[in-house]
Amino acid sequence: MTHPAKSGAQLLLDALKEQGVDTIFGYPGGAIMPVYDVLPSSGLKHILGRHEQGCAMAAIGYARATGKTGTCLATSGPGATNLVTGIADAYLDSVPVVFITGQVPSDLMGTDAFQEVDIFGITLPIVKHSYIARDPADIPGMVEEAYYIASEGRPGPVLIDLPKDVANATTTERHRWRPYPKVKPEMGSSEHIKTCENMIRAAEKPLFYIGGGIAQGDGVAELRALVERTEIPVVSTLKGLGAMPSDHPHFLGMLGMHGLKAANFAVQEADLLIVAGARFDDRATGKLDTFAPHAKIIHMDIDIAEINKLRKVDIWLEGSLKKNLAALNPGKSSAQDWRELCYGRREKFAVDYDAPGDNVYAPKLLHDLTRRAPENAIITCDVGQHQMWVAQHCYFDDPKDHITSGGLGTMGFGVPAGLGAQLGCPERTVITVSGDGSIMMNIQELATLNRYQIPLKIVLLDNGVLGMVRQWQEVFFNENYSEVDLYDNPDFAEVARAFQIDAFTVTKRAEVDAGIDKLLAAKGPILMHVKISPKENVWPLVPPGRSNADMMER
């Protein structure tokens, strides 16, 4: 069949539209210029970030807020290498994003040409799949497969590297692409389901341990229904927050290094862990051989590679979490004494927000902020002490309400992820919580907020130090405060105003309520600069190499 002659660049954009792409985050340059040449007539919405890393994080925020696959575009050489941190972030947090990079012409590849790097080779360990386009006729099928691979099973990033000559070349051909299996994920066998049900019925101290796979497997409703049927307590990883509403009667909170005491104690005493969409990450488990030492393990995960990877399990249910959670029906757990113990501890160890002094107390500010924000507000955040305070003290009703860098722990994530989330969900309130260390790593994206008038609301907690590193130096390195003092920070409110973004500063606790009101009422982008004490720490804290039961407190 004869097709109209089109360039590789035009075929790429046509293929993106066929995959339902509506927003691209990108930054132009020499090798990708053929694509940008046809972009204005494509009908696709392009968001020009101010750094390729910012574009990558915005695509991740867009993907996580919408549940769609994100799309990011960059040029060769430094454009491509500036994406690497974003690609790694998407890989470790299982986020579907297709990254498209320009490349030098095919005949120059391997010659150390200007702005040439082997981005295919560099990213091999941190992508689900990658391509180098060699023929423009391959591009439609390549793009279709890339978006399928990015979103199927356990999601993740896919890379397409596009040499400039392939983007420029025209063709009337469209090669048939190799077939790939479009199968719905299966579920555990009926025999395994029955075995799991019997284990749950027999358990005296059962506990759900849930992670980010719940949301990625579209299993939130099924999890909640199963918890209601069984009345078994629930603990969550950082990425699993929101799968159970924060104030749900059966939810004990986040477990792990900065987990809540009721959650960590429950894990250490449980005799059965029902693990759904979690992977026994070191920040959740503490010293692995002391984690849940008395518990049998039921493990549900779509990625069979996670089964028995870190903790030997007693039985597993592979395939669709949604289907497996729906299939389990062991009835109400008889462990009434266990429930009372867990919920009693939750009340006993509840946070006291009545801190002394007139300084701003960050945990209370964050608690009050999310209680007063619109019901479906999204919180994106950076990495550091503020990230843990968000996890401990903010309210989440859905996993898509909480977007943070989990596996990679990427500073500079919050603002670009927030603008991506806001563009993906324009009808929702999106709030970014950042720190004075983190925000400086991608502060140039304030220009993106201003250009597109993206109404992101930024809460910047400024303690004048690299807070989490300072805390560890205080606790574990004999107060040897090495290279953590940010005494020469700029006036962040003035910086925001220089980007033509509304901003104001809060320095005292008495100013917080009015500050929250002003932040939430803003129609455009706004930054609330909050000065907090550099001596404030995140508690509890499980020291590295210790059991989750060995929590340090204030």
Catalogue the active-site residues: 52, 114-115, 164, 468
Distance in angstroms (rounded) separating the CA atoms of residues 550 and 222: 33
DSSP state of 445: G
Distance in angstroms (rounded) separating the CA atoms of residues 339 and 142: 52
- Helices 362-372 and 385-393: crossing angle in degrees, nearest 10, is 50
Instruction: Provide CB contacts within 8 A for 28, sequence distance 6+.
Output: 36, 75
- Residue for token pair 């919408």: 66
Closest CA to 167 of 284, 271, 33: 33
Residue pair 61/380 in contact (Cβ under 8 Å)? The answer is yes
Residue pair 282/263 in contact (Cβ under 8 Å)? The answer is no
Q: CB-based burial of residue 305 (10 Å sphere; 0-12 exposed, 13-18 middle, 19+ buried)?
A: exposed
- Helices 261-269 and 336-348: crossing angle in degrees, nearest 10, is 150
DSSP state of 384: S
Helix, strand or coil, per DSSP, at residue 96: coil
Residue pair 15/139 in contact (Cβ under 8 Å)? The answer is yes
Note the helical H segments in 232-348.
261-269, 282-285, 321-327, 336-348
